[in-house]
Amino acid sequence: MKTSQFPSVRIPYQRLLGYHEGFLRELRKCKPETRGTYERSLREFFRWYPSDKKFQFRVVDVERYKNHLTKKRKLSPVSVSTYLTALRRFCDYLVDINALKGNPAKEVKGNKRPQEHSRETITAQDVRAIYQAIDRVDERGFRDFAIIKAMVVCGLSEIELIRADIGDLKTISSSMVFYVQGKGKTTKDTAVIFPNDVKEAFQGYLAFRNEADGDEPLIMSAGNRTRGKRMTTRGIRERVNLYLEKAGVKNGKSRRITAFSLRHTAATMMADNGATVEELQSRFRIGTANTAMLYIKKLSDDQ
């Protein structure tokens, strides 16, 4: 359907909420991470929709929402694209149930991806300060130390860590090998060899769980109400941010220094040591050469 052919449709907010519930039920067929991304991204739309009072599911309305995300909310280009993708998917659902004749969100493109990473790296001194900020006196401290070691040294992401089970750690010829299920993957088919310091960090943490089965979560919540459950992405980010603050690494840059900065730092250091694009893609499970190339480009720009 062409842009000019989208009819105006004003859906009362309460009815739209009902459609939203149906959409969330449909999302149960998706992977948990995909479902969570769509659900979180649509929250902004459902906050904005009743205050806008003019949204009629036309292209111009979706463009106004995009402008709200960019200018009022000041979201990053990647976040704006994610939010628009969620709205696009929701509108597809509304078309499927005959609430709309066509999907206006398909006519509005997301923002271009930035030509540089949106997160900053940290220094070797910062890394040491983070390690020192972790009190390894109980299971939680040893767990957090292992998480941060794995991120900084091996470039593991939150999703790779929270998907892992204890049985995904194997000892092969005295080396500790971690089998990873990366983003967008359905199997744990990528092997990451842990250097000795990362190996020792996980051995220290797992000493508290020596009776655990291999199919239990590798990174487990230690809270009183959530003990035994797999740690969430949000939980890992909160713990990492705690140590970034405690070590004084944030330094007023809370939006640019995050948990991802640890993985980002690992890749940057590897590029600094002469790694090729192909090596970066393989080591950090990066999907495209263009993304990996950003690390090489940053290195050349800094020199």
- The model's pLDDT over 104-125, given as tens digits with 9 standing for 90+, comes to 999 998 766 554 444 567 788 8
Helix (H) or strand (E) holding 191: strand 190-194
Question: How many Cβ atoms are within 10 Å of 113's Cβ, its own excluded?
Answer: 13
What pLDDT was estimated at residue 299?
44
Split at pLDDT 50, 70, 90, the class of 303 is very low
What pLDDT was estimated at residue 118?
46
Closest among 194, 140, 204 to 169, alpha carbons compared? 194
The residue ranking higher by pLDDT, 146 or 276, is 146
CATH 1.10.443.10 placement within the chain: 124-302
- Domain 3-107 indexed as CATH 1.20.200.10: no
Closest among 144, 147, 139, 142 to 164, alpha carbons compared? 147
Edge to edge, the sheet with strand 175-180 lists 169-172, 175-180, 190-194
As a CATH number, domain 124-302 is 1.10.443.10
Report the mean per-residue pLDDT for the chain.
84
Query: What residues pair up with 192 in beta bridges, in sequence order?
Result: 178
Q: Where are the alpha helices (DSSP H) in 10-55?
A: 13-26, 32-52
CATH 1.10.150.130 placement within the chain: 3-107
End-to-end CA, the chain = 50
**pTM score over 0.75:** no
Split at pLDDT 50, 70, 90, the class of 98 is very high
